[in-house]
Structure 1
Amino acid sequence: MFERIIARLRAPAADFTSMPEADARHALGALLVRVAKADGAYLFQEIEEIDLLLADLYNLNAVEAARMRAECEKLEDAMPDTDELAHILSCDVTSGECDNLVSALWKVADADGLRHDTEEKVVAIATRGFGMSPEAAAALRA
């Protein structure tokens, strides 16, 4: 018995976050993560904003939202094409929901208090995937 315990302690840490399905909920979370990482810094303020948005959008508690964000981080890492993430999401949202999703992307982009061109580019790619004009997307930021 002790040998098994010692073997488990010496084994590399298991990755407890599984790869989620590429559904609309996780695609949105992955896009939120992608916006946050676009400037090369994935800051606490951005992570906190993502967790708050996921909790609000999907009626999750703090632990569930953090778990979902971790799953979305995996999906974001596995899917390098932002257009593909936007397409998955656009298939399951109405035009009214689209405004809320774009607003969520802007909230993450602005969470660190700085404006970065790289974050704006990710939002632009996503909104184009939703079929939204750049002017409409910019209006949602204000």
Structure 2
Amino acid sequence: MFERLKAFFHNPSGYRTPLPEADASHAMGALLVRAAKADASYLFEEIRMIDQILAKRHNINPVAAAKLRAECERLEREMPQTAQIALILEHAINVEEKEATLIALWQVVFADGVKREEEDTVLHQIEAVLGVAPDRALELQSEAALKL
């Protein structure tokens, strides 16, 4: 009974928004959100960077990018395994897009001005799933820092 009562107060209407399609666009956005949250904070600078990346990558306006990010946030919450999200991209995009995605992920990590070990761990896990060699991943990380 306590669980039902707790669930009611958490979501009184019982309404759940359906998950967005787990396609490459949403998977990339979910990984951007996961990278931003890796250090247990989700700051405005990171959100702004995610929106900018999504707008540029998908050639959409800022409102559409914010809406896409919100969908990606939901997907990120529902998919607990980072590798599971990255695997969607691994099969859906080519090498150049994988590298562009890694640059974007590092830009999100760098957006708050502080790089933490937890963020490194998440990004290295994603790099491994995407099949990017560690030396190339380090070059992409440096490239991302220069783009800020």
With the length of structure 1 as denominator, give the TM-score of the two structures: 0.87
| One-letter amino acid of the counterpart of residue 28, structure 2 | L
Measure the CA separation in 1 of the matches of 2:50 and 2:99: 17
- Secondary structure in 2 matching 1:51: helix
d(CA) in 1 for partners of 2:105, 2:38: 12
**Is 2:70 the partner of 1:80?**
no
Give the match for residue 125 of structure 2.
125
Distance 2:73 2:17 in 1: 10
Unaligned runs of 5+ in 2: 1-11, 143-148
**Partner Cα distance (1:68, 1:79) in 2:** 16
Partner of 1:89: 89
Q: Alpha-carbon deviation of 1:69?
A: 0.3
Q: Distance in 1 between matches of 2:121 and 2:127?
A: 10
Q: How many residues align?
A: 132
The one-letter code sitting in structure 2 at the alignment partner of 1:67 is K
The Cα of 1:97 is off from its aligned counterpart by 1.2
Match of 1:3 in 2: none
Q: How well do the aligned residues superpose, as a CA RMSD in angstroms?
A: 1.7
Deviation at 1:18, TM superposition (A): 4.2
Q: What code does the residue aligned with 1:100 have?
A: A
* Residues 99, 18 of structure 1: alpha-carbon distance in 2 compared, 3 angstrom cutoff: same
- Give 1 or 2 for the bigger CA radius of gyration: 1
Task: State the percentage of identical aligned residues.
Answer: 46
User: Please, what TM-score do these two structures have when normalized by structure 2?
Assistant: 0.84
Q: Displacement of 1:109 after TM fit? A: 0.6
Q: Which runs of 4+ in 1 moved over 6 A?
A: 13-16
- Given that residues 17 and 70 in structure 1 are in contact (C-alpha distance below 8 angstroms), is that contact kept between their aligned partners in structure 2? no
What is the CA distance between 1:65 and its match in structure 2?
A: 0.3
